């Protein structure tokens, strides 16, 4: 019998890998990471679509303790980011702790332990569960009539079909979030014709992509402070602070500045007036997650590219019929239609104390105290869980902040000092009330639809900036937790 705290991590994406490598450095724990896929990387494993990159500067989209001097460009391509996470798994020798092809179907708190059941019938149990199962994971397949009758290839962006006709073919892309915009930008030079079905146009923040030279990479290797200067320097941090000020106060000068930039981008980049008006959103900038792109406006002005802002009536075997009767003949139809963002770890059935499930407690919308803990679910902590910070910044930073917080909760359990810890109902309710009140004041609540909103139209997000988040998460308020004494049962 071990006297170590046994931690089971669910998910081997960015957050799960972070948890794993931090747990290797922690005394008094044993752990495993369970991953349902056949490889690590999470979102960067699943997403392989043309044009995939991260619109957060690459040097800011790394673990803070593992800078990467070799990023090929200011905004790293998706495949390179996947390799970065794979290299971290190698470097920290995490493979022996990772179980691939291991889908957790049930997760039950019984007799002071978490009991996990897997799709293949295996079981395991542990003292603590870290749910690192991602947010943008379960594809949203739109209920468009006739979709199943399409004779060409159709698939969700996260499930790219390499056999689909794209080059010199007639391609349609439904959806103009960050994903659709990246795909359209990439395919605009490859497809014979390209229709971007964009029922709600987006504001576009211009960015300039460029490759790093060999000399620059050598400088980054020789002097890591040059990387820090990009990540922590005034320029990038200033952008973040201005963005936070804007999001949290839609009447601020910072918001006016963002609005001016995106409006000017539209005015100066789109030459044809009719197209410009078609692309002009009728809601405030940053209400939906801002699209960062230096390519999209150019892409939609290429010959053979058509932006369709009308309503889709039906998908027919040979293409898409619009409500106005017009028809787009297609060989391939890509669904860049986003994700079912209210799922989180579900459909895994998670049952806490007294038989209460996450489905019960999240019957209205998923939420958690500081996005980490839920009352009645002892020793169950989430990374990038519901109602956490979202926006145009690195979720790696968010996960690291949350991990430092979770480690302090693990300290409470260390050495069997306590059996369990979970936020109290009272603290959870008070926190949620504050969060919702503040979230209603953000730009996300100024009258657009987006994946940030819950079923009541309230932003399901951390309502302040990242510095406030780091400050609030620096030390758990243990009075907000129910801590049960007793030796961990095994
Ligand atoms: P999304 O932002 O949720 O966008 C989904 C798009 O599909 C929207 O344009 C939506 O239109 C459209 N849509 C959904 N159902 C439809 C239907 N039935 N008919 C027509 N259109 C429909 O999804 P996403 O683009 O995959 O992006 C999700 C998030 O992933 C982003 O916000 C971002 O956080 C992350 N992401 C990040 C990067 C990056 O570079 N960092 C890249 C890609 C994605 P409506 O707006 O009208 O609903």
Across 225-244, average pLDDT: 96
Q: Kindly report, residue by residue over 3-27, the tens digit of the pLDDT.
A: 899 999 999 999 999 999 999 999 9
Across 379-406, average pLDDT: 95
- What pLDDT sits at residue 386? 95
Distance 109 CA to ligand 1 centre (A): 35
* DSSP code, position 414: G
- pLDDT grade for 488, boundaries at 50, 70 and 90: very low
**Ligand 1 atom 35: residue of nearest CA:** 178
Q: Using alpha carbons, list the distances in angstroms from residue 364 to 356, 430, 437.
A: 15, 17, 17
**Ligand 1 atom 45: residue of nearest CA:** 200
Distance 450 CA to ligand 1 centre (A): 8
The pair of three-digit structure tokens given for residue 8, joined into one six-digit string: 């089971």
- What pLDDT sits at residue 2? 62
| Contact of 50 with 190, CB cutoff 8 Å | yes
Distance 352 CA to ligand 1 centre (A): 33
The pair of three-digit structure tokens given for residue 158, joined into one six-digit string: 């996260």
Helix, strand, coil shares of the chain, percent, nearest 5, are 35, 20, 45
Distance 118 CA to ligand 1 centre (A): 31
- Any idea which residue has 């092809």 for tokens? 101
- pLDDT grade for 1, boundaries at 50, 70 and 90: very low
Residues 299, 421: Cα–Cα separation, whole Å: 52
Helix, strand, or coil (residue 376): coil
| Contact of 306 with 267, CB cutoff 8 Å | no
Residue 221 has pLDDT above 80, yes or no: yes
How many Cβ atoms sit within 10 Å of the Cβ of residue 268?
11
* DSSP code, position 393: S
Q: Report phi then psi at 9, rounded to 5.
A: -100, 135
Tell me which residue of 310, 327, 326, 307 sits closest to 318, measured CA to CA: 327
By most ligand atoms within 8 Å of CB, the mutation choice from 199, 320, 328, 394 for ligand 1 is: 199
- What pLDDT sits at residue 8? 98
**CB contact burial 277-287 (16+ within 10 A = b; e otherwise):** ebbebebbbbb
Distance 347 CA to ligand 1 centre (A): 21
Distance 399 CA to ligand 1 centre (A): 22
Q: Kindly report, residue by residue over 77-110, the tens digit of the pLDDT.
A: 999 999 999 999 999 999 999 999 999 999 999 9
pTM for this structure?
Answer: 0.97
- pLDDT grade for 239, boundaries at 50, 70 and 90: very high
Distance 339 CA to ligand 1 centre (A): 7
Distance 177 CA to ligand 1 centre (A): 4
**Ligand 1 atom 39: residue of nearest CA:** 54
Distance 465 CA to ligand 1 centre (A): 23
Residue 404 has pLDDT above 90, yes or no: yes
Percent with pLDDT over 70 in the chain: 99
- Any idea which residue has 């980049």 for tokens? 269
- What pLDDT sits at residue 449? 95
Residue bearing the bigger pLDDT, 486 or 234: 234
**CB contact burial 29-39 (16+ within 10 A = b; e otherwise):** bebbbbbbbeb
Q: Kindly report, residue by residue over 308-328, the tens digit of the pLDDT.
A: 999 999 999 999 999 999 999
In terms of DSSP H, where are the helices of 13-138? 14-24, 43-46, 78-91
* Gyration radius from the chain CA atoms: 23
Which secondary-structure segment (H or E) carries 117? strand 113-118
| Contact of 182 with 78, CB cutoff 8 Å | no
CA 487 to chain CA centroid, nearest Å: 37
Q: Which region among 213-222, 241-250, 329-338, 384-393 has the lowest average model confidence (pLDDT)?
A: 384-393
Residues 370, 374: Cα–Cα separation, whole Å: 9
Percent with pLDDT over 90 in the chain: 96
**Which atom of ligand 1 lies closest to the CA of 158?**
26
Residues 377, 415: Cα–Cα separation, whole Å: 21
* DSSP code, position 377: -
- What pLDDT sits at residue 391? 84
Residue bearing the bigger pLDDT, 486 or 304: 304
By most ligand atoms within 8 Å of CB, the mutation choice from 337, 389, 396 for ligand 1 is: 337
Residues 458, 15: Cα–Cα separation, whole Å: 26
- What pLDDT sits at residue 416? 85
Q: Report phi then psi at 413, rounded to 5.
A: -85, -15
Across 174-186, average pLDDT: 98
| Contact of 297 with 118, CB cutoff 8 Å | no
Q: What residue ranges line ligand 1, CB within 6 angstroms?
A: 54-56, 136, 142, 144, 174-180, 182, 197, 199-200, 289, 312, 336-338, 449, 451
- What pLDDT sits at residue 490? 47
- What pLDDT sits at residue 219? 98
**Which atom of ligand 1 lies closest to the CA of 199?**
47
How many Cβ atoms sit within 10 Å of the Cβ of residue 93?
10
- pLDDT grade for 40, boundaries at 50, 70 and 90: very high
- pLDDT grade for 282, boundaries at 50, 70 and 90: very high
**Ligand 1 atom 6: residue of nearest CA:** 175
**DSSP letters for 127-187:** SEEEE---SS-SB-----TTGGG-SSEEEEGGG--TTS--TTSEEEEE--SHHHHHHHHHH
Average pLDDT, the chain: 96
Q: Kindly report, residue by residue over 56-78, the tens digit of the pLDDT.
A: 999 999 999 999 999 999 999 99
* DSSP code, position 453: B
**Ligand 1 atom 8: residue of nearest CA:** 175
Residues 310, 327: Cα–Cα separation, whole Å: 11
Kindly report the length of the chain: 490
**Ligand 1 atom 31: residue of nearest CA:** 178
Distance 178 CA to ligand 1 centre (A): 6
């Amino acid at each position: 019998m071990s006297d170590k705290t046994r931690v089971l991590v669910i998910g081997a994406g960015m957050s799960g890998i972070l948890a794993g490598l931090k747990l290797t450095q922690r005394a008094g724990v044993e752990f495993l990471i369970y991953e349902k896929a056949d490889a690590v990387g999470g979102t960067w494993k699943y997403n392989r679509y043309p044009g995939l990159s991260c619109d957060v500067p690459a040097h800011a989209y790394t673990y803070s303790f593992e800078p990467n001097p070799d990023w090929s460009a200011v905004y790293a391509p998706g495949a390179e980011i996947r390799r970065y996470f794979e290299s971290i798994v190698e470097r920290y020798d995490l493979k022996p702790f990772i179980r691939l092809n291991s889908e957790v179907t049930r997760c039950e708190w019984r007799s002071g332990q978490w009991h996990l059941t897997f799709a293949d019938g295996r079981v395991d149990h542990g003292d603590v569960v870290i749910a690192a199962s991602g947010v943008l994971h379960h594809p949203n397949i739109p209920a468009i009539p006739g979709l199943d009758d399409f004779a060409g290839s159709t698939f969700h962006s996260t499930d790219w079909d390499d056999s689909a006709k794209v080059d010199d073919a007639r391609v349609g892309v439904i959806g103009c979030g960050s994903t659709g915009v990246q795909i359209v930008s990439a395919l605009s030079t490859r497809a014979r014709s390209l229709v971007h079905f964009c029922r709600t146009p987006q504001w576009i923040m211009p960015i300039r992509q460029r490759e790093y030279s060999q000399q620059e990479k050598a400088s980054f290797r020789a002097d890591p402070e040059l990387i820090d200067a990009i990540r922590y320097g005034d320029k990038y941090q200033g952008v973040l602070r201005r963005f936070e000020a804007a999001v949290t106060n839609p009447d601020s000068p910072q918001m006016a500045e963002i609005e001016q930039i995106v409006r000017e981008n539209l005015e100066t980049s789109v030459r044809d007036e009719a197209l410009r008006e078609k692309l002009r959103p009728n809601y405030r900038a940053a209400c939906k997650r801002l699209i960062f792109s230096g390519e999209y406006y150019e892409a939609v002005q290429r010959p053979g590219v058509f932006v369709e802002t009308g309503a889709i009536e039906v998908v027919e075997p040979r293409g898409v019929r619009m409500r106005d009767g017009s028809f787009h003949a297609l060989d391939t139809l890509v669904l860049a239609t986003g994700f079912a963002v209210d799922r989180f770890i579900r459909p895994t059935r998670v049952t806490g104390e007294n038989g209460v499930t996450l489905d019960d407690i999240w019957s209205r919308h998923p939420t958690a105290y500081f996005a980490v803990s839920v009352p009645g679910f002892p020793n169950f902590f989430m990374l990038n869980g519901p109602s956490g910070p979202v926006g145009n910044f690195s979720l790696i930073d968010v996960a690291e902040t949350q991990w430092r917080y979770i480690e302090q909760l693990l300290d409470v359990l260390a050495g069997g000092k306590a059996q369990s810890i979970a936020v109290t109902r009272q603290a959870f309710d008070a926190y949620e009330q504050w969060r919702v009140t503040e979230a209603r004041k953000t730009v996300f609540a100024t009258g657009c639809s987006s994946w940030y909103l819950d079923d009541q139209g309230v932003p399901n997000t951390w309502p302040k900036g990242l510095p406030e988040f780091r400050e609030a998460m620096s030390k758990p308020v243990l009075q907000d937790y129910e801590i049960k004494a007793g030796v961990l049962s095994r």
